[in-house]
A and B are shown apart, each in its own frame.
Chain A
Amino acid sequence: MSAPAGSPHPAAGARMPPKLGGAASGLAPPQQNGPAPSQMQVPSGYGLPHQNYMAPSGHYSQGPGKMTSLPLDNQCDNYYSRPYTVPTQNVGTPSSANQPGAQQMYGRGPPASHMGGSTPGSIQGALASASHPYTSASQPYSSFGNRYSSPATYSASSSASQGYPSTCSHYPVSTVSNVVYPNVSYPSLPASEPYGQMFTSQSAPSARPVNDSYSGPSTAVTYPSRPPPPPSQHHHQQQQSHSGYSSVPWSAPGLPPAQDNLIRNQMGSLAPANNRPSNNENVQPPKSSSIVSTVLPGPSSTRMPPAPSHPVGPLPSAPPTPEQMQTKVRFPGPSHAGCGKWRLNRDPGLWGTCIGRMRERPPEKFAIKGMQYGDYVNNQASSTPTPLSSASDDEEEEDEDEEAGVDSSSTTSSASPLPNSYDALEGGSYPDMHSSSASSPAPDRASEPNSTLAQALSAAPAPTAPHPTKVAKPFGYGYPTLQPAYQNAAPPPSSGGGHPSGPGYSGYPQHYPGVNQLSSGLGGLSLQSSPQPESLRPVNLTQEKNILPPTPIWAPIPNLSAELSKLNCSPDSFRCTLTNIPQTQALLNKAKLPLGLLLHPFRDLTQLPVITSNTIVRCRSCRTYINPFVSFIDQRRWKCNLCYRVNDVPEEFLYNPLTRSYGEPHKRPEVQNSTVEFIASSDYMLRPPQPAVYLFVLDVSHNAVEAGYLSVLCQSLLDNLDKLPGDSRTRIGFMTFDSTIHFYNLQEGLSQPQMLIVSDIDDVFLPTPDSLLVNLHESKELIKDLLNALPNMFINTRETHSALGPALQAAFKLMSPTGGRVSVFQTQLPSLGAGLLQSREDPNQRSSTKVVHHLGPATDFYKKLALDCSGQQTAVDLFLLSSQYSDLASLACMSKYSAGCIFYYPSFHSTHNPSQAEKLQKDLKRYLTRKIGFEAVMRIRCTKGLSMHTFHGNFFVRSTDLLSLANINPDAGFAVQLLIEESLTDTSLVCFQTALLYTSSKGERRIRVHTLCLPVVSSLADVYAGVDVQAAICLLANMAVDRSVSSSLSDARDALVNAVVDPLSAYSSVVSSVPRSTLTAPSSLKLLPLYVLALLKQKAFRTGTSTRLDDRVYAMCQMKSQPLVHLMKMIHPNLYRIDRLTDEGAIHVNDRVVPQPSLQKLSAEKLTREGAFLMDCGSVFYIWIGKGCDNNFIENVLGYPDFAAVPPKMTHLPELDTLSSERTRSFITWLRDNRPLSPVLHMVKDESPAKTEFFQHLIEDRTEAAFSYYEFLIHIQQQICK
């Protein structure tokens, strides 16, 4: 800690000497007092940083406070100094010889022999005085003083431009500008608004370390800047891509404010003199008034020419095309239109819905209601601004800040409306969008990021159902009914490919130039007269042999007009179980389908517009961020699509920096992209953005050393130390524990790491609060020393106890001043101190078909700790590597409620179980290098009438729509159940918006916003037509987990079965005319029984098969926290036959040919002895080799002469120079590249003992305890007929 290296920081050097002395010589008081005075300089030099952070001080003062209670005192000097000086003096720690540094016992338990002559008494005085320096000097931020140059800026009330030192150009962007603007009062605020947008085109997110590496503006193409129409000083556009990184392309956000500062200075305002130099430095990057547009072609962009740098000049030839547009359009929608009817839950208790009235509305109603969009409220209401007090010091809530943030946005009201476009705007359609999207389909495609999977498959044979939506409806106008789309549906089934890509759609709008034409053309059409769309085609489940399509299943595309579909959020980030939202709860109840959202908000994106703007435009009443689905009433006003309030368009929003034109608010990137990221101003901060802080808490008891995970971990850390996401402030710390807790002093300047032992686990305290978390860059050598020494340090330990609880308490104390990430590695049941656990598993009950106990936590210690951590913005990630029962149900709480993640490696052993070790290594690589967001909150908003019911995932729910996430990582998924509170009859579209406010590892405050728009339907058939089975199944899984914890496993299983029975019986009784004796389902639901059966056979929910309790609980944790894509693979793995790979239908990725074998159903009948099969379970791959497998394959791919020679435990495919080997490997590599956690490969020979692992995934087969698929269907049919 202390200043970033290289910065002119007087204190940085100054504070070291005492430490050095302390370590090398006898030291003594300096150990305590040394840092204090020298650190004091920091504050003084940079202006009282600690004012802002009162919280931390409380913590630190606690340390000394604790000490005052120590029995042996007075010897304060001794206490600290002696042990340091005499490293080997420690008595009672047998392994001291191995320790890298001094080792000492703190604590009163055994009043430490090394304390020798110390008299218990009165350390108080000494420490009390010492405590003051601690509190004031050791503020974590104070040493970073030069980053947050002066806290005054954050209070937003000071108008002095504080001049950020050169190093701080990351986050403070809008802080300064906000501070500056009020005084300067530019007449043309909008124009001069610094604005930047960029697209990244990183293309292999999974393989890459996704840290926010701002590799700098490296290859920037600079265009001379051009003054915008209104008088303004400058504006910037930066468009830049990093190949190495997904979504934080923002190169120099500090620039705009820097300029402002400069301007201010030039205008003779009062910037303090000493700030000048830094200002200048900030300004110095010359691109500040230029367009930087770089596109680094991603490694895998092969199909498209790597989007050449978008000309973002005055004449953009291609509008920014968000990734999701393309993906949407490209996927041929498997299902979409339809008719069908359902009813509601048999199990209202579980699914939380109640049976309501059935009410159906005649379609004409909609025509009328639909007008609502065009019929804007001429509400000059913007005259009621209640300017919120600047909430940066708001008591607790980030969200308050978020709320308070932006009122300045709606202050302008007089300007020149453009009367020409008024009409069009009033009607709500975007005339310009029409033309732009219609006229430039080619650029759209060209600029498309090469998202490998999506493209790959859109090129592959398409799913059978073509996407029916053809009619373009101008946004904002009527949507008289939604049926038109269905009408045009029913394309000949032969056109299987559907419309794979944009042009077909984008051409359409031209055919309907006039809104009136359109509505008249559509009026009077009704669903009944139209042929049945594909997704409603009744499927006789018992007769249909091959229910599983040969290609992967894509999310259904909402039945929206082409423009809206294009603008809509990518289904990878945001999905709804029903893409057609029923109008009333009654209708939903009739359909008996779960309604909810599946979110993957922090996904690694290949392309993400990042927006820097002084004012983030939001609705004044519901605080919704402006998004593509709002309607512009006229030039100056927009209508919120969630609460329907009419808001002012702020002046600067009228200027479009992309096109450099004025008066086209609807062309701003916020309105063109449904996934955007804003750089937030200081209004969105409660405190200065925290640095990245990582703490590793490692179990070093005998059990852990035996398992040998330390070497894997330390090696991974050594390899990835430079790739840890963070900036120059990044801090890192280590703790180990067995029956005592060991801290490591890594303060820069020490010759070697010092180990400090606290044996008082009943009352844990921090031996030295400020040198345990150290700056990664300054202490790198020490850290490396420690990591090299750590695996061998405890090699002879005999300590079998594990004091996890106290260690966590210590970690919490250590982290609470800053927040950050705690990674806990645990290998056994915690057996000492707070939070100790007993074994609760009865091995004889593992395969019981009756009740499964102990799915819930045994103690609330970990939950409470997690809540405390969450409050201090600390997330706890748990790595459980144990061979015996470790009560994951209790331990998992520490991660569940602090927004951490959980990794579990049953029977881990670094040598006996190499595949687990490999998995750990790979997971760690991803874990350490992936992107991370700190102190995050996520708010989910939805259109008035809908409300959130229950949330699933790892977080703490702080308010009805606000999730508090201490950390957010790209692999976290969330689910939300929805209720329809009020009938949605007066709207035809509903929108959902998630806003994730987080601090990037670079210390920037950012907001990532996703907006999803879905149509509202009034008939059951339409509801059925829009079911997204995969989303529904994931939501059901989440609900079932909750149910099994709160009630019982058998309840949850029954509920799952009912979740199939109810909709199917509702469908057959209401919609379909087929005889009741057959089991029919609409095509959109045909996979529901299969997936539910798969769920029932999951480790989480299965009964009758021996399942360890921890495995079960872990599976449940995964269901709650995994995003949909990964969860689906876990629930229903993909099976491919790989011994006959051909290039037929192959795709090209990175100059590699990737064959695309078709999906096989998960049944042993598909496994022929002559074949080899690959099963993709998400986190693990199995290759099953049949006994009679072709020797050519074995020889060419596996590298062995025949079947018998293949070793039983193979985890890698050899790199052979044969065609089939190349194909197989490229296919597997391609599968691997598409996911973040690299799966481990297991070779399973036919008739080897390992095959049970493989066969348990064949969910269509009968097992001793569970139905086969066919039996399950029969069972369902019986239930329906009952």
Chain B
Amino acid sequence: MAFTFAAFCYMLALLLTAALIFFAIWHIIAFDELKTDYKNPIDQCNTLNPTVEKLKKIKRVKIALKLVLPEYLIHAFFCVMFLCAAEWLTLGLNMPLLAYHIWRYMSRPVMSGPGLYDPTTIMNADILAYCQKEGWCKLAFYLLAFFYYLYGMIYVLVSS
């Protein structure tokens, strides 16, 4: 039992995936709030002052939408780590998502800064629904990946 580079990769990935899960949840919440924004604020928050609530909400949405790029970078980062560690199976499992991220970023709307979401089209029901679905899928993927990395880490630690 030795602490190899591969084990280190798994550990790192484990931590980062936890962060990614957090991002994904935030992402889902953000889009859900965008979607349900029109609902009556009275119903939504009986106790809270709606204005305060609303302010908070908007900030949260903005933050969540900014997390996209970090998420992609983190994922790409541990993919590279796995490549270095020659963990082919793990890398293979991550490739589809990596490819998806690249494609998604390539086909983003024209914009000068980094970012993925165009405020003028985001309210389109199709796009909103797509983004929500994307969020749920990613959450599931990261959750599974989290346990896989846990397993992978232990396996590497034990086997080496």
Contacts and interface: CB of A to CB of B under 8 A. Distances in A.
A1266 interface: no
Contacts of B54: 394-395, 397, 400
Interface in A365-421: 386, 388-389, 391, 394-397, 400, 403
A861 B112 contact: yes
A860 B35 CA distance: 25
B51 A950 contact: no
A961 B118 CA distance: 18
A897 B123 contact: no
Given A394-B51, A621-B43, A960 B38 contact: yes
Q: Which of the listed residues B37, B41, B51, B55 has the most CB atoms from chain A within 10 Å of its own CB?
A: B51
A957 B123 contact: yes
B49 interface: yes
Contact of A949 (B43, B112, B120, B126): B126
Given A623-B40, A960-B38, A391 B110 contact: no
Nearest to A950: B124
A352 interface: yes
Contacts of B38: 959-962
Interface residues of A, number: 38
Contacts of B40: 403, 621-623
Contacts of A275: none
Contact of A959 (B37, B118, B124): B37
Interface stretch (A146-154, A787-795, A851-859): A851-859
A960 B111 contact: no
Task: Sort chain B's interface into a size bin.
Answer: 20 to 34
Contacts of B111: 860
A956 interface: yes
Contacts of A1107: none
A1168 to B, nearest CB: 49
Nearest to A864: B112
A947 interface: yes
Interface in A583-640: 620-623
Q: Which of the listed residues B41, B42, B111 has the most CB atoms from chain A within 10 Å of its own CB?
A: B42
Contact of A386 (B35, B46, B123): B46
A822 interface: no
Interface in B87-120: 109-112, 118-120
Contact of A860 (B46, B55, B110, B125): B110
Q: Which of the listed residues B40, B118, B123 has the most CB atoms from chain A within 10 Å of its own CB?
A: B123
Contacts of B123: 951, 957-960
A948 interface: yes
Interface string A949-972: 111000011111110000000000
Contacts of A396: 58
Contacts of B50: 388-389, 391, 400
Contacts of B34: 960
Nearest to A949: B125
Given A623-B40, A950-B126, A857 B110 contact: yes
Nearest to B47: A386
Interface string A761-773: 0000000000000
A564 interface: no
A493 to B, nearest CB: 43
Contact of B51 (A400, A620, A959): A400
B118 to A, nearest CB: 8
A391 B126 contact: no
B40 to A, nearest CB: 6
A867 interface: yes
Interface in B11-61: 34-35, 37-38, 40-43, 46, 49-51, 54-55, 58
A948 B35 CA distance: 11
A947 B112 CA distance: 33
Interface in A1217-1240: none
Contacts of A960: 34-35, 37-38, 123, 125
A621 B38 CA distance: 12
Contacts of B118: 863
A897 B125 contact: no
A394 B41 CA distance: 13
A853 to B, nearest CB: 13
Contact of A858 (B46, B110, B119, B120): B110
B125 A395 contact: no
Nearest to A863: B120
Contact of A856 (B35, B42, B110): B110
A525 to B, nearest CB: 38
A395 B55 contact: yes
Nearest to B45: A386
A810 interface: no
Given A621-B42, A867-B120, A960-B38, A950 B125 contact: yes
Interface string A858-888: 1111011001000000000000000000000
Nearest to A890: B110
A292 interface: no
B125 A859 contact: no
Contacts of A395: 51, 54-55
A1172 interface: no
A1010 B54 CA distance: 28
A1040 interface: no
A861 B113 CA distance: 10
Given A621-B40, A621-B43, A860-B111, A391 B124 contact: no
A695 interface: no
A979 interface: yes
A859 B110 CA distance: 6
Contacts of A388: 42, 50
Contacts of B42: 386, 388, 620-621
Contact of B120 (A620, A956, A979): A956
Contacts of A389: 49-51
B120 A897 contact: yes
Contacts of B125: 352, 947-950, 960, 979
Contacts of B35: 960
Nearest to A399: B38
Those 8 A-B pairs whose CB atoms lie nearest each other, nearest first: A957-B123, A949-B125, A960-B38, A860-B111, A959-B37, A961-B38, A950-B124, A386-B42
11 contacts: A352-B126, A394-B54, A397-B54, A621-B40, A860-B111, A860-B112, A863-B118, A949-B126, A950-B124, A957-B124, A958-B123
Interface of A: 352, 386, 388-389, 391, 394-397, 400, 403, 620-623, 856-861, 863-864, 867, 897, 947-951, 956-962, 979
Given A397-B54, A400-B50, 11 more contacts: A386-B42, A400-B51, A622-B40, A859-B110, A860-B109, A860-B111, A861-B112, A863-B120, A947-B125, A949-B124, A951-B123
Interface of B: 34-35, 37-38, 40-43, 46, 49-51, 54-55, 58, 109-112, 118-120, 123-126
